[in-house]
Every structure is written in structure tokens, then in C-alpha cells.
Amino acid sequence: MENYFLILIGTVFVNNIVLAKVLGLCPFMGVSKKLEAAIGMGMATAFVLTLASGASYLINQYLLGPDLIYLRTLSFIIVIASIVQFTEMFIHKTSPVLYQVLGIYLPLITTNCAVLGIPLLNVQENHNFIESLFFGFGGAIGFALVLITFSAMRERLEGADVPLPFKGSAIAMVTAGLMSIASMGFSGLVK
């Protein structure tokens, strides 16, 4: 039990997928202009990541086995792409508003390196099925947390007296860098 808790804390804070592992920067910069969009994106990513890490564990363990390691990346991408497609259709049907808000970034979850990175890290760390799910879920929560925090900051930055050359994406990049440095304060919290 403690193990799962540590995985969760570790992925959310210490080895945050965005700030420490620097994965998934495309939606991090792209969907952080509005708080509502960031919340939706965080939720969608959490759903996709958890499913993807579970599914890829099963595929890796039972379908590929030790013989077909070279198909790992390929099959993971196929599974992730299908899950994203499924999620997109589901959201389109159930919440057109969220679908609208997420817009182009929803299909882009497919090419989100965080979503591929987590299943690969799962394999690397030899997680079992439950651990994989926790690892995926924790990673997604970490991603959502940082994304939402960042978008809240960016909303504020819109009204700040930023020097002209730094306006827009430049100051957002600086902010992301500062957030990353700040998150280093968590290192050592969990081994």
C-alpha cells in the first residue's frame, strides 16, 4: 500500500512529468491560455494516461513478451492513438462544450510524449499492473496540476506590465522555467 502511495507522490511532485522529466510540453504551452481549457485538458489527459498505461502493460506483458520487444513503441502508439480517438468521440458526444474548448489539442494527446513516455517508463521500472495504473494516474495528476497552475499564472500575466519584448510566449517560457526550478525543491522527498 505504501508503495502505491509513494508512486503517487513521486509522480505528482518529485518526478513531475512536465517540470522534472520535461515531457508533454506541447499541450503545456498550447492549452494553458485559459483556465477552463486547462482543466478540461488535464481531465482528458488523466483519463487517457491511466487507460494507456494499463493497456500497454497488458500488451507488453501478454502480447509482446520477451520476443517482440522491438514492437513495443509501435504497438504502444497504436493503442494510445485508439484510446485518444475513443476519448474524442466520447467527449464530442457527452460534452460538446469541452470538445470545443479542447479543440485541436484533443487529438494532439496522441502525439503528447508524456502519454507515450509513461508506458515506456513503466516497462523500464518493471512495474506490475496496479503499479502501472498508479504510475499513469499519478503522472496525469502531476501533469494536470502543473497545467492548471500554469494557466492560472498565464491569465494573470495577461494583465501584468511585462516589458514589450517579453510579452506573450516569451514570459510564459520564463515562467515555465521558474516553475521547473521551483519544483526541484521536491527532490529527495521520495527516493
Partner 1 sequence: MRPLFPFHGGIHPAEHKSPSTQHGIAVAPLPARLVVTLRQHSGSPASPVVAVGDQVLKGQLIGAAEGLISSSVHAPSSGRVVAIEKQPAPHVSGLPDLSIVLETDGEERWVERQKMDFCNTDPALLRQHFQDMGVVGLGGAVFPSHVKLNASGLDTLVINAAECEPFISCDDMLMRERAAEVVKGISIAQYIMGAREVLIGIEDNKPQAIAAMQAACEETGFEVVAVPTLYPSGSAKQLIKLLTGKEVTSGGHPTQMGIQCFNVATVYTMHRVINHGEPVISRLVTLTGNMDEPRNYEVLIGTPIGDLLKLARPKADTTGYLMGGPMMGVPLLDLSVPVVKATNCIIATSQALFPPLPRAMPCIRCARCAQACPAELQPQELFWFSKSRNFEKAREYKLFDCIECGCCNYVCPSHIPLVQFYRFAKSEMLAHEKDRKAADLARERHEFREFRQEREKQEKAARHAAKAAEMAAKAAETTAGSGESVAGADDAAAAKKAAIQAAIERAKAKKAAVKPQNVDDLPAEAQAKIDEIDLRRAQASETAGQRVAIQKSDEGQGA
Partner 2 sequence: MLNALLVMIGLAVVLGAVLGFASLKFRVEGNPLVEKVDAILPQIQCGQCGYPGCKPYAEAISAGNSAINLCAPGGEAVMLRLADLLGVDPQPLAADAALPKPKQVALIDEQTCIGCTLCLQACPVDAIAGAAKQMHTIIASECTGCELCLPPCPVDCITMETVDEGLGGWKWKYPVYPISEEEKDTEVTS
- Count H helices and E strands in the chain, helices first: 8, 0
Burial of 158 (0-12, 13-18, 19+ CB in 10 A): exposed
Should residue 163 be labelled a site residue for partner 1 when binding is judged by CB under 8 A? no
**Contact indicator for 38, 155 with CB cutoff of 8 Å:** no
Give the type of residue at 65.
G
Should residue 65 be labelled a site residue for partner 1 when binding is judged by CB under 8 A? no
Which span sits near partner 2 by CB under 8 A: 98-106, 126-134, 151-159, 175-183?
98-106
Grid coordinates representing 39? Answer: 482543466
> Which one of residues 3, 125, 158, 184 is an interface residue with partner 1 (CB under 8 A)?
158
Which span sits near partner 2 by CB under 8 A: 61-69, 137-145, 150-158, 167-175?
61-69
- Give the angle 146-151-155 at the CA atoms, nearest 5°: 150
Should residue 33 be labelled a site residue for partner 1 when binding is judged by CB under 8 A? no
Which span sits near partner 2 by CB under 8 A: 6-14, 42-50, 58-66, 178-186?
58-66
Instruction: State the residues that interact with partner 1 by CB under 8 A.
Output: 155-156, 158-161
